[in-house]
Amino acid sequence: MIRSGISAIRRLSSAPGNSSFFFRQLFDHESSTYTYLLGDLVSKECILIDPVLEQVERDKQAVHQTGLNLKFAINTHVHADHITGTGLLKKSTNCKSIISKYSGAKADIYVEDGDNIEFGQFALTVRPTPGHTNGCVTYVLESQKCAFTGDALLIRGCGRTDFQEGDAATLYDSVHAQIFSLPDDFTLYPAHDYKGWTATSVREEKLYNPRLSKSKEQFVEIMKNLNLAYPKKIDVAVPANRVCGIQD
Amino acid sequence: MIRSGISAIRRLSSAPGNSSFFFRQLFDHESSTYTYLLGDLVSKECILIDPVLEQVERDKQAVHQTGLNLKFAINTHVHADHITGTGLLKKSTNCKSIISKYSGAKADIYVEDGDNIEFGQFALTVRPTPGHTNGCVTYVLESQKCAFTGDALLIRGCGRTDFQEGDAATLYDSVHAQIFSLPDDFTLYPAHDYKGWTATSVREEKLYNPRLSKSKEQFVEIMKNLNLAYPKKIDVAVPANRVCGIQD
């Protein structure tokens, strides 16, 4: 297992609003997935969080045209609604793939609680947020006062808990312990949105999330009664994502 | 004409990355329109750029749940592809509407070259960018190193020049004189995107815009040969937008 660029020691990177920080949010209309490109304009190192297979060419264009070099392709979890672009990105760039140790998926690097993923002078810190799946993690970029919550926390919503290793009580504990414990003004970026929202904040979700602002008992009851349809792509997406999106 | 909060004198607001600055990008899937909520967390004043009629409730929720008060509802131009939410926002909040003096549309406040639209300690500066329509303007937020380009400049594209007062040569001159003259690292936020991009930069568009990085003659030729379909909503949207989205 390669651990270059991964550090288990918490390290605060640069100051908020550092002008060498590059951020670009990207959207896949088919699966309503947000992909994030984060970079350091000095070292030119960048990372992609939750790339989508069908958008790999667009994402590579974004990396190239902003003058950056892709160091890591990172997933927040094993997705059930789209195939990750990570495998294809690995084939056509020098990037390494990263996912949680508890995801059950293949990757070059496995991360766990407290690990730092470094790109240039910046670093994402891993916080485990299981409940939607066992391997769900939230990546916190403390220097920029933001976090990437995957499907654990969506804007005024949350990921499903009725498939894969879903467990509503676990998800509730994860969000309250690992995300709502961040400062109120941290911006939160989810893996999906269906209503045209692009971001939220810790404060907003603590106050206005219709599920997670409730008690744990109420939350479990809400999640039990969602009666959602079987996910269209799950039988294709989950096995593919366990091998990084493509067969070797 | 009310001009409170509008200043003809160029005034630099606060430093880049000022933490009292609030920014939220919102998307309308039907018309692929981006609406922008910008606010000052100290004074609580905020503005909306290019609100969409069908999203007024969502936008009001965004304003309310972030603890802000809507001062201005602003359009970059008279849209042909959706009806503005400005009229409905005026009916249900205390906001004033703003549009270019050369738009031909009704509004509480008309702006022109060099005017500043103030919200709290921040200010948008008006730059005329005609060519898609006569009244198209770009709003520059110098303190945050960004600009809102409406349909004058889209990400790797631009607005059409084959209807309303469209003129390709005028659009080319506008973009080059008023947008490409901003610093390379300014982030540009368009009124629309159809491919999942959310933002771009002056540098990227100068280098990679497939139309506007060309010569003026080539640009005019490209725009002449686009052979685009007649806009679906233009016959409803343009008359409605001339009266701020709704009849009195």
Which H, E and C letters describe A179-237, residue by residue? HCCCCCCCEEEECECCCCECCEEHHHHHHHCCCCCCCHHHHHHHHHCCCCCCCCCHHHH
3-state helix/strand/coil string of B127-176:
EECCCCCCCCEEEEEHHHCEEEEECCCECCECCCCCCCCCCHHHHHHHHH
Global confidence as pTM: 0.92
Answer yes or no: are the C-beta atoms of B192 and B152 closer than 8 Å. no
Alpha carbon of A2: minimum distance to chain B alpha carbons (Å): 32
Q: Which of 3.60.15.10, 3.30.465.10, 3.40.50.720, 3.40.50.620 would CATH assign to domain A20-228?
A: 3.60.15.10
Which residues in B lie closer than 8 A to residue A196 (C-beta atoms)? 26-29, 55, 58
Higher pLDDT, B163 or A224: A224
Q: What's the mean pLDDT when you consider all of chain B?
A: 92
Distance CA A164, CA A79 (A): 10
- Cβ distance of B196 and A65 shorter than 8 Å: no
**pLDDT at A18 > cutoff 70:** no
User: Is B218 in CB contact (< 8 Å) with chain A?
Assistant: no
Determine the residue type at B51. P
3-state secondary structure of B91: helix
Q: Which residues pair with A48 in a beta bridge?
A: A37, A73
Q: Read off the tokens for A73.
A: 């392709």
- Cβ distance of B27 and A196 shorter than 8 Å: yes
- Cβ distance of A27 and B199 shorter than 8 Å: no
- Cβ distance of A208 and B16 shorter than 8 Å: no
Q: What angle do CA A241, A89, A6 make, to 5 degrees?
A: 80
- Cβ distance of B185 and A19 shorter than 8 Å: yes
pLDDT band at B7 (very low <50, low <70, confident <90, very high): low
Nearest-Cα residue of chain B relative to residue A29? B196
Q: Which of 3.40.50.970, 3.40.50.300, 3.30.460.10, 3.60.15.10 would CATH assign to domain B26-229?
A: 3.60.15.10
**Closest by alpha carbon to B125, among B136, B114, B133, B134?**
B114
Distance CA A7, CA A121 (A): 13
Residue B4's pLDDT is 55
**Closest by alpha carbon to A208, among B19, B68, B45, B61?**
B61
pLDDT band at A1 (very low <50, low <70, confident <90, very high): very low
How does pLDDT run across B48-106, given as a tens digit for each residue? 999 999 999 999 999 999 999 999 999 999 998 899 999 999 999 999 999 999 999 99
